[in-house]
Amino acid sequence: MQASYSHKVQERRGTTCPSSTPTNQRRRTPLLQSRIIPSRVAAPPHPPPFPRLRSSFVARVFSFTRAMDAATSVQRRRWLPWARRQAAAYLAAAGGGGGDGLVATAVSAVRVVACFLAMMVTTAVWAVVMLLLLPWPCERIRQSNVYGHVTGRMLLWILGNPIKVEGLEHLRARGIFICNHASPLDIFLVMGLAPTGTVGIAKKEIIWFGQLYVLANHLRIDRSNPAAAIESMKQVAREVVKNNLSLILFPEGTRSRDGRLLPFKKGFVPAALQTRLPIVPIVVTGTHQAWRTNSVQVRPVPLTVKVLPPISTDGWEEGRISEHLETVRSLYVGNLPDAQKPLDALSARNAS
């Protein structure tokens, strides 16, 4: 009797549990039943998207704005397309479509400044690399090609001109790559396309790029002395053959002011005769319209780069330099648009 009484006392105090009820369930049940911890607190529902408004004034304001929004939704569907058309017309009139207006000039200025800053960063990085590679001239040439790939493609991407390239497979083998020159954009294109292991030639008048050429082990020639220029080309040809390199240059010798093809200089022909490398013409169109002479504005004009099949120089002879020169130039005349053809070629075509 005393044992059963003590068992009941312990059961009331919670020290023992009935055999049919688990311990954890028995301990939670009184809390939930006594409402000490409400069930809705233990598992709260998701809050409503907006809190319930207690103030009648705030409720009226919200109700009024929702009603105005619903009433003007139809009008918005009507005036939004009209606003878009008006904005497009304004941007086109202001020069947003690629003209010479205020918007186009501002966008071009931002892009040109971004190009200048990007080129400063990449030039500083690769200048350190070139200084570290001073004892290895050929490796400096190859690293300068990597610099050209990074910088040239980055600048073209910043400027945003659409670019179409044809005949990239002709750039895989060694050769003497030549390109017409009508704009500074031609330099960026050549930098981005020249294969690794290509040595370039520039004129001494270009101060900043000329110094970079010296650091990268490229060559600068003096155009005022034709004999010295030809001798320099022969020296380059010997280095090209010795180190298994390629050569890239602008055969016109300078930039065309109106975009039309200029007469070719004879310097690359002796180099071809000495190296017997094939001539690979690169025809660039549209750059003279994208970046005009005496202007810092770059227009979003589409650019086209066409790499023609290589021209074998195995049968070239030293006594027929002018003939070989004209053969290569005629390929450019045939692949350039009328706006970039030389005037003598247009006159001859009209006369025939």
Question: Six-digit token pair at 144?
Answer: 């300068």
Looking at residue 90, its pLDDT comes to 44
219 vs 9 pLDDT, higher one: 219
pLDDT of residue 63: 54
pLDDT at position 75 is 47
Other CB atoms within 10 A of residue 289 CB: 16
- Helices and strands (H and E) in the chain: how many: 13, 7
Please, which contacts does 217-221 make with residues 24 or more away whose CB atoms are closer than 8 Å? Answer: 217/137, 217/138, 217/140, 217/141, 217/144, 218/141, 218/144, 221/267
Q: Which DSSP state fits 47?
A: P
Distance CA 277, CA 12 (A): 106
pLDDT over 90 at 304, yes or no: yes
Tally the residues of the chain. 352
Q: What is the reported pLDDT for 130?
A: 87
Lowest mean pLDDT among 118-122, 220-224, 233-237: 220-224
Interior/surface letters 232-254, b for 16+ CB within 10 angstroms, e for the rest: bbeebbebbeeeebbbbbbbbbe
Three-state DSSP class for 8? helix
Summarised one tens digit per residue, pLDDT across range 142-191 is: 888 999 999 999 999 999 889 999 999 999 999 999 999 999 899 999 99
Window from 113-122, 141-150, 222-231, 298-307 with minimum mean pLDDT: 222-231
Which segment of 6-20, 40-54, 182-196, 326-340 scores lowest on mean pLDDT?
40-54
- Is 298 a residue whose pLDDT tops 80? yes
Identity of the amino acid at 99: G
pLDDT at 215: 80
Residue 42 confidence (pLDDT) above 60: no
Rounded CA-CA distance 98/286 in Å is 14
| Mean of pLDDT over the chain | 76
Chain centre distance of CA 1: 96
Query: pLDDT by residue (tens digit) across 190-232?
Result: 999 999 999 988 776 665 565 677 788 887 777 777 777 777 7
Percent of residues, the chain, with pLDDT higher than 70: 66
The rounded distance, in Å, linking the Cα atoms of 185 and 290 is 8
Residues 329-345 pLDDT 10s? 999 999 999 889 888 76
- Residue 92's H or E segment, with its range, is helix 56-94
User: Does residue 37 surpass a pLDDT of 50?
Assistant: no
Class of the CATH-defined domain 102-343: alpha beta
pLDDT of 239 reads 84
pLDDT at 59: 52
Q: Where are the domains of the chain?
A: 102-343
**276, pLDDT greater than 90:** yes
Task: Check pLDDT > 80 for residue 72.
Answer: no
Q: What is the pTM of this model?
A: 0.69
Which one, of 244, 234, 122, 251, lies nearest residue 173 by Cα?
A: 244
**Residue reference for tokens 């130039």:** 329
Compute how many other C-beta atoms are within 10 angstroms of the C-beta atom of residue 204.
14
- Is residue 30 packed enough to be buried (19+ CB in 10 Å), middle (13-18) or exposed (0-12)? exposed
Are 234 and 240 in contact by the 8 Å Cβ rule? The answer is: no
